[in-house]
Amino acid sequence: MEKALVGAPDFIRKVMMPTALGQGNALPVSAFTRNGDMMTGTTHFYKRGIAVSVPTWQADTCIQCMQCAIVCPHAVIRPYLATEEEIKDSPIKFLDSKNPTAAKYGKFKFAIQASPLDCTGCGVCVKVCPTAAKGTLAMHNIEKVEHAEYNKQIFLDDHVSYKADGFSLDDREKAIAFRMPHFEFHGACAGCGETAYITQFTRLFGQKMIIANATGCSSIYGFSFPYSPYNTDKNGHGPAWANSLFEDNAEFGYGMVVAISQRRDKVKEIAARVAKNAECPEELKKAIANWLERAHEIEGSEITGNILRAMINQQTCDCPDIKFLQAQENQELLRKPVMVIQGGDGWAYDIGFGGLDHIMASGLDFTIMVIDTEVYSNTGGQKSKATPLGAVARFAAAGKRTDKKDIATIAMSYTNAYVASINMGATVVSEPTLILTNVYVIIALENQITVFMLIITYSINSAVHFFFTSSFK
């Protein structure tokens, strides 16, 4: 704990830790921001140490499948790519990396490590490990291994950087587990069947995500003051997250989508006007043209936007259009954000369905992720419209008498929507899942632009239904 707090921001030391220790009522009003916002990534500093047993890794029998890192509900266990220089004097045994995608970017060493004080002890990683019987992953009493395992984690945090964060979009998918998760160490139940999907989503697009989150399980573990599991990278980039009411999250997210869309349209308009100016340098005209051509793409807008930003900042004229493009709040929009509206089945199927259906008909560009546990999880597991026919749940002790509402078919009735249902471990794990989760992702496609499909191959027996937008170009 002491190590985690060294150099921690003032908010962590003066607000979060006193609150975590039950001393929140003693905090003065002046300790809080006037507008109610809060720094993200605070769970990184809160080493709860609640697990009775934690996983340990043995290198000799590991086949580097990384299923453990994909399924971990709390992003506790992770694979690491390291250079020879980074692992001098390492307390961890590293292997030669076998990942063909990583090999394209250099020669790396490989290791897996779990953070013992952030682990909840669910053991899902051991359940999915194909070589667990050989001792690759095993659960050990935390009192016996905490000191050694925590020192290993500290070494990795201090010496080993995330290599895959610089991979291309296609390579990110193939080496997703090596990327930094922008969702970690939250307060979801041990073995939660929902959170691994959010973790993988943030591994792919976390640096660019703007999230509107419906009230429910995902809002409680997504943010309960002062704990924020959505974190940033070394450049300060990460998901922007906000929670609305249970019943209006679709409209809440829709407002964000409209606002960002209009602001980006204004930036495009001003940039095009600058390019038409006779005094505009040819290099700047070319940079503007390249960005305008790829402004609708996730990766393309970032690549061309970085070039355009550098050239715009070199301009010294006082014209209003250049000053507009040099403003930080406008330069942030050069990179297209991934707009995500997410929540559970209670929101999407029931109380928020009217709004969800409304925004699906808007024709705008956004992504909806429905985390469907087939019951009202946050209030104890009552039956819902998402509960399948015959399933036993609270208030349906003899089995539900009606069919499950088919939200995917409803979404597909809109011809500009792409709908996907993902089960992150159906062909990997033979044992029953700890918590069944269906996740729907609906992608509403603006102008029928081709989309990039997110494919996640490993996890517990849960399904995710995604409705995607052109954000995944």
CATH code, domain with 454: 3.40.50.970
The residue ranking higher by pLDDT, 242 or 417, is 242
Q: Is residue 397 part of a domain?
A: yes
Predicted local confidence at residue 432, as pLDDT: 35
Among 282, 310, 331, the domain boundary falls at 331
- Provide the pLDDT confidence category of residue 170 given band limits of 50, 70 and 90: confident
Q: What share of the chain in percent tops pLDDT 90?
A: 62
The residue ranking higher by pLDDT, 124 or 174, is 124
Residue 223 CA, distance from chain mean position: 13
Question: Is there a contact between 106 and 175 (Cβ–Cβ < 8 Å)?
Answer: no
Are residues 427 and 320 part of one domain?
no
Backbone angles phi, psi at 243, to 5 degrees: -115, 135
Are residues 398 and 321 part of one domain?
no
Q: Is residue 70 part of a domain?
A: yes
Predicted local confidence at residue 418, as pLDDT: 84
pLDDT at position 100 over 60: yes
Q: Is residue 166 part of a domain?
A: yes
Residues 6+ apart with CB under 8 A from 172: 164, 179, 203, 204
Are residues 311 and 289 part of one domain?
yes
Dump pLDDT digits (tens) for 247-281: 999 999 999 999 999 999 999 999 999 999 999 99
| CA distance to 100, 130, 158, 320, per residue, from 109 (Å) | 13, 21, 16, 51
Predicted local confidence at residue 458, as pLDDT: 28
Are residues 372 and 415 part of one domain?
yes
Dump pLDDT digits (tens) for 273-321: 999 999 999 999 999 999 999 999 988 999 999 999 999 999 998 899 9
- Segment 100-124 shows an average pLDDT of 94
Question: Is there a contact between 220 and 79 (Cβ–Cβ < 8 Å)?
Answer: no
- Provide the pLDDT confidence category of residue 23 given band limits of 50, 70 and 90: very high
Dump pLDDT digits (tens) for 405-446: 988 888 888 888 888 877 776 655 434 333 345 455 655 544
Are residues 342 and 296 part of one domain?
no
Residues 6+ apart with CB under 8 A from 304: 287, 290, 291, 293, 294, 295, 334
Residues composing the chain: 473
Predicted local confidence at residue 423, as pLDDT: 72
Domain count, the chain: 4
Predicted local confidence at residue 411, as pLDDT: 87
Predicted local confidence at residue 440, as pLDDT: 54
Are residues 110 and 148 part of one domain?
yes
Are residues 391 and 289 part of one domain?
no
Q: Is residue 208 part of a domain?
A: no
Are residues 362 and 411 part of one domain?
yes
Say how far apart CA 156 and CA 3 lie, in whole Å.
Answer: 13
Predicted local confidence at residue 456, as pLDDT: 31
Q: Is residue 78 part of a domain?
A: yes
Q: Is residue 41 part of a domain?
A: no
Say what the alpha-carbon torsion angle 337, 343, 348, 354 is, to the nearest 10 degrees.
-60
Q: Is residue 194 part of a domain?
A: no
Please tell me what DSSP assigns to residue 212.
E
CATH at 175: 3.30.70.20
Dump pLDDT digits (tens) for 333-391: 999 999 999 999 889 999 999 999 999 888 888 899 998 888 888 778 888 888 889 98
Q: Is residue 231 part of a domain?
A: no
Predicted local confidence at residue 451, as pLDDT: 30
Say how far apart CA 441 and CA 85 lie, in whole Å.
Answer: 41
Say how far apart CA 399 and CA 402 lie, in whole Å.
Answer: 9
Question: Is there a contact between 67 and 112 (Cβ–Cβ < 8 Å)?
Answer: no
Residue 135 is part of which domain span? 53-179
Which residue is associated with the tokens 């471990």? 425
CA angle 43/47/51 to nearest 5° reads 115
Predicted local confidence at residue 384, as pLDDT: 85
Among 164, 179, 194, the domain boundary falls at 179
CB atoms under 10 Å from CB of 92, counted, come to 20
Dump pLDDT digits (tens) for 54-80: 999 999 999 999 999 999 999 999 999
What is the per-residue burial (b if ≥16 Cβ within 10 Å, else e) of 314-323?
Answer: ebeeeeebbe
Question: Is there a contact between 220 and 378 (Cβ–Cβ < 8 Å)?
Answer: yes
282-294 helix and 298-313 helix, angle to the nearest 10 degrees: 160
Are residues 295 and 377 part of one domain?
no
Are residues 391 and 301 part of one domain?
no
Question: Is there a contact between 230 and 183 (Cβ–Cβ < 8 Å)?
Answer: yes
Are residues 17 and 132 part of one domain?
no
Are residues 275 and 253 part of one domain?
no
- Provide the pLDDT confidence category of residue 325 given band limits of 50, 70 and 90: very high
